[in-house]
Amino acid sequence: MLIRQEPDGSYLAIGQASHAWLSGQLARAWGNERFGAVEPWEEVCLGAEQHDVGWAEWDLDPAIDPDTGRPHTFISLPLPEKIALWSAAARKMLSQSSYAALLVSMHGTALYERFPPPEDPGGIVQKFLDEQREFQASLSGGLDPDELRRNQKLVFAWDYISLALCLDWAPTEVEDVPTADGTPITLALSEEAELDPWPFREDRVDLRTEGRRLEDSSLVTLEFTLRPRR
């Protein structure tokens, strides 16, 4: 769950699956001479769109954060509950695409490798990482490891851009984004939703997703337009 505060002081709840839908839209718009193509196209776009599949059911009946009185977010939810959701996520994708399931698993492990929690009660994070690496090994036979790592980094970048748009993090930077020749680059996202350097095929990208007002559960459509830096 993402919680977005509006200028009028109200709050929007954006489900993890809704935010991931935005990531999928970014994936389908991605690619130009500098940043290269997305391959395999359908599998990677599906993985981006479903990277938070483990949260979908939880978001329908979220636990309440006693400190705020609002639903827990993906940040505030206690670690054991988060690990349980991530542990089940990738296997939910197996009935759709083993490649997408592999990317979901790799995204989960990348999160905890890049942002390890300060404590690991009972070794639950290490157990999660070990189990996911075994799962990944079972699916990655015959696949190009460099391509897999590139696609994992792309999913990570799309995830971050989506979060930045939904939660008003701009200005911010998106680090370690792979380019066509494999050189990592940092993207800058401005408050005006300008992205530099520009990684998309077209000269603007229109995006949308959905949230609900916490006060009355009314549906709200969120729309964003990305443009290259002027």
- What pLDDT sits at residue 23? 98
Q: Are 211 and 220 in contact (CB under 8 A)?
A: yes
Q: How many domains does the chain have?
A: 1
Range of the domain at 219: 2-228
Q: Are 91 and 58 in contact (CB under 8 A)?
A: no
Q: What is the mean pLDDT of each run of 10 residues along the chain (230 residues)?
A: 94 97 98 97 98 96 95 96 97 96 98 94 96 98 97 98 98 97 96 98 98 96 97
- What pLDDT sits at residue 52? 97
- What pLDDT sits at residue 89? 97
Is the alpha carbon torsion for 128, 129, 133, 134 positive or negative? negative
Between helix 79-92 and helix 124-139 the angle, nearest 10°, is 10
Strands (E), the chain: 2-5, 11-14, 172-178, 184-189, 194-196, 205-213, 219-228
Q: What is the pLDDT of residues 8-62, one digit of tens each?
A: 999 999 999 999 999 999 999 999 999 999 999 999 999 999 999 999 999 999 9
Amino acid at 84: A
Q: Which residue has the tokens 């404590």?
A: 119
- What pLDDT sits at residue 173? 98
- What pLDDT sits at residue 122? 94
- What pLDDT sits at residue 87? 97
- What pLDDT sits at residue 143? 98
- What pLDDT sits at residue 41? 97
Here the tokens at position 84 are 């349980």
